[in-house]
Amino acid sequence: MTTMMTTPHRFVRLLASVMSEPEARLAAAHGADIIDCKNPAEGALGALACSVVASIREAVPRHVPVSATIGDLPAHPATVVRAAAAMAATGCDIVKIGFFPGGDAEATIRSLGQEIAPHTPLVAVLMADAPLDLALVAHLGDAGFAGVMLDTAVKDGRTLCDHRTPAELGRFVGEAQAAGLFAGLAGSLRVGQIPELLALEPDVLGFRGALCTGRDRQQALDAAAMSAVRRAIPHEFERTPSLEIAS
């Protein structure tokens, strides 16, 4: 069984979102710490076909964790659990679930905790450009989730930092870590924002658009852009807890 834990004094992990096996190979070769399977054409957390996720997991070195999103689904427990179970069956290391406005987030979290979390690490994604209920963070910890990320639902050129102040982002990171979760920040992040985000001591920084040709999240990953982001995130950023995957 795959489990996840936090360890102190390590580094901020670079999560690179990819939409194909060739992109996954490129991201891994250029230093991505986590390969994230996502279909940008289908929304903020658009899902790739399970067969594609399985091929990406086979293509990427085993020491590099592979996460996968389940799509922009409403928080209906049965629907979300079914999608999460199907994605977990691909062999990916982490399943990511977005929580958008509407539905029953607490009931969905409980169901995922009971049915999926015991055998597959789960990461919740909350939306910074929607009303943010930080009380959900404690529920995620109680349900056995591994981590929680903050992202943006609408991809309109604005970034996470346009929607939330450094103080708000710092509070999110602190609440996540206090709940025993790793904390991730994403949302159209730019290379120039990395230093201020590192100062907040998250565990993960997630990227898609900044890694692509023309900074267009629906275009292909670009090796030079990937390298630029990797250089901006030190492999060792002291005082930052990090996640580890262990079998």
Residues 6+ away with beta carbon under 8 Å from 85: 115, 116
Do residues 98 and 69 lie in contact, with contact meaning Cβ atoms separated by under 8 Å?
yes
The residues assigned a catalytic role are 38, 96
Beta strand extents in the chain (DSSP E only): 3-7, 13-18, 34-37, 66-69, 94-99, 122-127, 147-151, 182-185, 204-207, 242-246
Euclidean distance between CA atoms 129 and 131, whole angstroms: 7
Angle at Cα 69 formed by Cα 228 and Cα 223, nearest 5°? 20
Neighbours of 51 (CB within 10 A): 9
Q: Helix, strand or coil for residue 243?
A: strand
What secondary structure, in 3-state letters, does 181-214 show? CEEEECCCCCHHHHHHHHCCCCCEEEECHHHEHH
Euclidean distance between CA atoms 243 and 241, whole angstroms: 7
Do residues 99 and 105 lie in contact, with contact meaning Cβ atoms separated by under 8 Å?
yes
Of 135, 71, 88, 131, the C-alpha closest to 109 is 135
